[in-house]
Every structure is written in C-alpha cells, then in structure tokens.
Amino acid sequence: MNRKLASIGVGCLLAIATIIFLYPLFWMILGSFKSNAEIFNTLIFWPREWTGQYYEILLSNEFFPYLTSLANSITVSLSQGVGATLLAAMAGFVIGSYRFRGRIGLLALGILVVLIPAQMVALPLFMWVNTLGLFDNVFGVILPGLVSGLGLLFFARVYSQLPSDLLDVARTEGASEFRIFLLTLPLVKPFLIAFGFAHFVLSWHAHIIPMLVLNSEETRTLPISLAALYGSSLNSPQAVLMAGSALGMLPLIAVFAFAYPQLKSALQEFVSQ
C-alpha cells in the first residue's frame, strides 16, 4: 500500500511539473492567434477569434525574410552539430584511448574552455572572423562553433571505457589509427547522436556570436531576427513573434524525434558506466 501511494504521489508531482513546463509553450502557440490586446491581457487564455493572418504576415516577409532566417539557423546549427561532434570525437578518441605526455594538460584545457564565459571571448572571436573576411557570413558563425571543450571531455570519457583489446586487434591487422577511429564510430553511435543533438540545440539558441557577426537580414539566424523584430517596435503584432517562435520549434522537434532512441540508449549506457 505504501509503495502504491508513493507511486501515485510521484505521478501527481510529475503531472504538475509537466503542466508548469508546458504552459508557456501552449500560451505561445495560442498567442500566435491573438491580437496585441489579448496577448497583453494575461487573463485571456483562448483567442477570441482563430485566424491564421499572423502566419500569413510572417511568411510574407513584411517584417523580415522569415524562411531565409530559418534556413540560416538550420544551416548553422546542423553544420556545428555535425562538425563539432566529429572533431570532438576525434580528440576524445586520442585522449581517451592513449596515454601520452601532455594528456592531462589537454584535459585541463578542455575544462578551461568550458569554464570561460562566451562573453569573454566574443570580441577576440569577432576580430578573428573579421580578419578572415567572414563578417556578415554564416560561415563566420559556424567556424567558432566547431570547437567544443565539453565535447572533448565527453568523448574522452566515452572512449576511455572502450576495451583496449579491440584497438589492439585492429592494430595487429594493420589498420591505421584513423581507420581504427572509423571502426569505433558504430560502437559509440548513441553518444555521437546525443552530443550532436545537444550541440544542435545550443547552436540554435546562440545569440552572442551571431549577433556580432551577422548584420544583414539575409544572413541573420532566426533567434536574432525575432529579437530584432521585438526590439524594433512594440506596435507590431506580437502574434507574429509568437508565430515565428512556434514555427521555429519544428526543426528542433524533428531533430529530437530522430535522436530520441539514441538519446535514451546513450543515457542508459552512460549511467551504467
């Protein structure tokens, strides 16, 4: 009986937490159908009139080229997610599988990169990107995001758990070190997808570097375009912002649906280790 009561109590707490976390999401979606007066009146939950005019205004490029900004965000986030995952996996393979002088120093450097706030390196990164001629170019945002100290630490831990006998067998067969790394990728596939998804989400919501590097409307990412629209004037329909945010969730939901089985597997394996 006590176990049943505890289970019911935990279920109720989870239900309450779910409602608390999902309420802003539902409010945003419903807000994309409301007028400004209804949005600023927090007592009005359901829109008085269901209309898709604000989605039409959003997609008409009246305020900014929405589809272009959405495509820029997908390009930047996908490129950073894939690129940072591969580079971090290669670095983690070396640090986690080998013992060499300077290994601890590299791990300490990875920790230092994680601890340094992005605001402290924003100006040097901007100067570097500008020197490379990538100002107001999506590649100027992609390039700095390809390096991840957290990814280095994560994959160093993952590869340290692989049996060294597997690597020794591959070496006796004459495989090169890069070939051995490629052979290990299927073994760490859940971790690759899990980290790639996490980096995709972080890149999607990044503001500092895109705000400094991207200047024109044709190169801005979606969060920067929506922030610029919000800051420009409060006289514009706030439902347009809500509609843009609601549509902007679709790529994140699609990537999460693709990565969820691997996320679950990676979490179970990481906890078991």
User: Which stretches of the chain drop beneath a pLDDT of 50?
Assistant: none
Instruction: Yes or no: say if 155 and 92 are a contact pair by the CB < 8 Å rule.
Output: yes
Question: What does the longest C-alpha to C-alpha distance in the chain come to?
Answer: 73
pLDDT recorded at residue 163: 80
CA separation for the pair 192, 157 (Å, rounded): 13
For residue 154, count other CB atoms closer than 10 A to its CB. 22
Q: How far is CA 13 from CA 6, 10, 16, 20, 26, in A?
A: 11, 5, 5, 11, 20
CA separation for the pair 218, 242 (Å, rounded): 21
Among the four given CATH numbers 3.40.50.720, 1.10.3720.10, 1.10.10.2160, 3.40.50.1980, the one describing domain 52-272: 1.10.3720.10
pLDDT recorded at residue 83: 94
pLDDT recorded at residue 235: 64
47: its two tokens = 């829109």
Q: CB neighbours of 50 closer than 8 A, spacing ≥ 6?
A: 33
pLDDT recorded at residue 269: 63
Q: CB neighbours of 201 closer than 8 A, spacing ≥ 6?
A: 77, 252, 255
Provide the residue ranges of all domains of the chain, joining segments of one domain with +.
52-272
Q: How far is CA 265 from CA 164, 202, 268, in A?
A: 22, 21, 5
pLDDT recorded at residue 268: 64
pLDDT digits (tens, 9 = 90+) for 200-218: 999 999 888 898 888 888 8
The pTM of the full predicted model, rounded to 2 decimals, is 0.85
Element of type H or E holding 64 = none
Helix axes 66-97, 103-115, angle to 10 degrees: 150
